[in-house]
């Protein structure tokens, strides 16, 4: 059941001070939402107050989801239950800290946020999961994809602790959604994220050297469109627990007349193609997100690259 996607909501955002989070928050602010950032470091945005908290501490999380959104002298309004929690806090990839700490921080942080939200009566939780759960990105050695396109029903068999922590998060979310009917928990499997400043470097590198984007299946997630994806989640109620591939529409390869299917058959001959793909469809399908949430891409790489090149030539 779709809700008014433009209605202003009170949102708690964990981990909003990171590179990705700040772009997502900026996009959500454009939609008129009021946001409390929960992070260990402040967010450089005068419109958003940061509450310093460690999400691996359950008491701190409970307090963070049940407090005022800004400092005021005195507090003029009583504490209101947030409309939604958006959970991005955690370790963003392996090999930043020891594996056991990565697993502890990511799983305990996710558990604490989901549990507190459900027990406080918050009706929507949006989780930052990852396409690394499909088991290719951080695999030991080169591993074949199970099939194309990858959908939310594709097998998740990761070797690395980061992706495993995300699989655990999804399973925790599913169990709490069963226990608390009426709570929607949507897990977004995010691909390699591009911020606006990275198109002239990282995207161009991927286009020039397609082998470098094999690990994320020649797909990407624009940081601003990630905000739009979350906005689509906020505007769609009543789905319970769901997983969505949070990727942009197109493959990041110039595929020519053979299209995405022809390219994938050439570079991954061992991998079956089990569903019909459009000419430039990304190998990780976002069809479910488009159909169930009504997501529409705003920042496709092709239009952005053409616009940047046009600006550069003037």
Residue range 5-62, pLDDT digits in tens = 458 999 999 999 999 999 999 999 999 999 999 999 999 999 999 999 999 999 999 9
The CA distance from 125 to 103, in Å, is: 21
The CA distance from 194 to 223, in Å, is: 6
**Domain-by-domain residue ranges, the chain?**
10-313
Q: What is the per-residue pLDDT for 314?
A: 32
Does 179 score more than 60 pLDDT?
Answer: yes
Residue 107 near residue 169 (C-beta atoms within 8 A): yes
Q: Enumerate residues 6+ apart whose C-beta is below 8 A from 50.
A: 16, 17, 37, 38, 39, 41, 42, 43
Q: Which residues pair with 63 in a beta bridge?
A: none
Tokens 């409970």 sit on residue:
62
CA distances from 259 to 14, 199, 253, 264, 282 (A): 39, 22, 9, 9, 10
Residue 16 near residue 218 (C-beta atoms within 8 A): no
Q: What is the per-residue pLDDT for 10?
A: 97
Side-chain half-sphere CA neighbours of 57 within 13 A: 10
Q: What is the per-residue pLDDT for 77?
A: 80
The CA distance from 165 to 103, in Å, is: 6
- Angle separating helix axes 223-234 and 19-30, nearest 10 degrees: 50
Give me the CATH topology for the region 10-313.
Answer: Rossmann fold (3.40.50)
| Confidence band of 73 (pLDDT split at 50, 70, 90) | low
The CA distance from 116 to 114, in Å, is: 6
Mean pLDDT, all residues of the chain? 94
Nearest CA-CA partner of 11 in 52, 27, 307, 240: 27
Residue 205, token pair as written in the block: 């590198």
Tokens 């194309």 sit on residue:
148
For the chain, give the number of residues: 314
Mean pLDDT of the 57-79 span: 88
Q: What is the per-residue pLDDT for 6?
A: 57
Does 70 score more than 60 pLDDT?
Answer: yes
User: What percent of the chain clears pLDDT 90, i.e. is strictly above it?
Assistant: 88
Residue 199 near residue 305 (C-beta atoms within 8 A): yes
Residue 262 near residue 274 (C-beta atoms within 8 A): no
For 209-267, where are the alpha helices, taking DSSP H only? Answer: 223-234, 259-267
pTM of the model: 0.95
């Amino acid at each position: 059941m779709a809700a008014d996607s433009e209605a202003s909501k009170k949102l708690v955002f964990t981990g909003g001070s990171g590179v990705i989070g700040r772009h997502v928050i900026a996009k959500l602010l454009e939609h008129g939402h009021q946001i409390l950032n929960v992070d260990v470091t402040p967010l450089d945005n005068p419109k958003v107050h940061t509450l310093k908290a460690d999400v691996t501490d359950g008491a701190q999380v409970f307090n963070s989801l049940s407090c005022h959104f800004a400092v005021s002298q005195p507090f003029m309004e009583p504490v209101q239950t947030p409309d939604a929690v958006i959970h991005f806090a955690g370790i963003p990839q392996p090999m930043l800290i020891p594996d056991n700490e990565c697993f502890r921080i990511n799983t305990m942080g996710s558990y604490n946020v989901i549990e507190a939200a459900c027990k406080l009566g918050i009706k929507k939780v949006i989780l930052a999961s990852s396409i690394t759960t499909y088991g290719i990105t951080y695999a030991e050695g080169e591993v074949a994809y199970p099939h194309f396109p990858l959908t939310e029903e594709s097998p998740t068999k990761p070797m690395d602790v980061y992706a495993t922590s995300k699989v655990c998060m999804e399973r925790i979310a599913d169990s709490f959604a069963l226990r608390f009917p009426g709570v929607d928990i949507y897990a977004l499997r995010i691909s390699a994220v591009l911020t606006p400043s990275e198109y002239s470097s990282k995207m161009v590198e991927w286009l020039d050297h397609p082998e470098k984007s094999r690990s994320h299946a020649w797909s990407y997630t624009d940081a601003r469109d990630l905000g739009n994806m979350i906005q689509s989640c906020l505007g769609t109620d009543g789905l319970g627990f769901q997983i969505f591939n949070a990727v942009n529409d197109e493959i990041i390869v110039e595929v020519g007349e053979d299209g995405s299917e022809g390219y994938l058959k050439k570079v991954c001959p061992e991998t079956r193609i089990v569903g019909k793909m459009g000419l430039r469809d990304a190998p990780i399908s976002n069809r479910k997100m488009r159909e169930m949430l009504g997501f529409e891409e705003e920042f496709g790489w092709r239009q952005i690259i053409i616009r940047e090149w046009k600006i550069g030539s003037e």
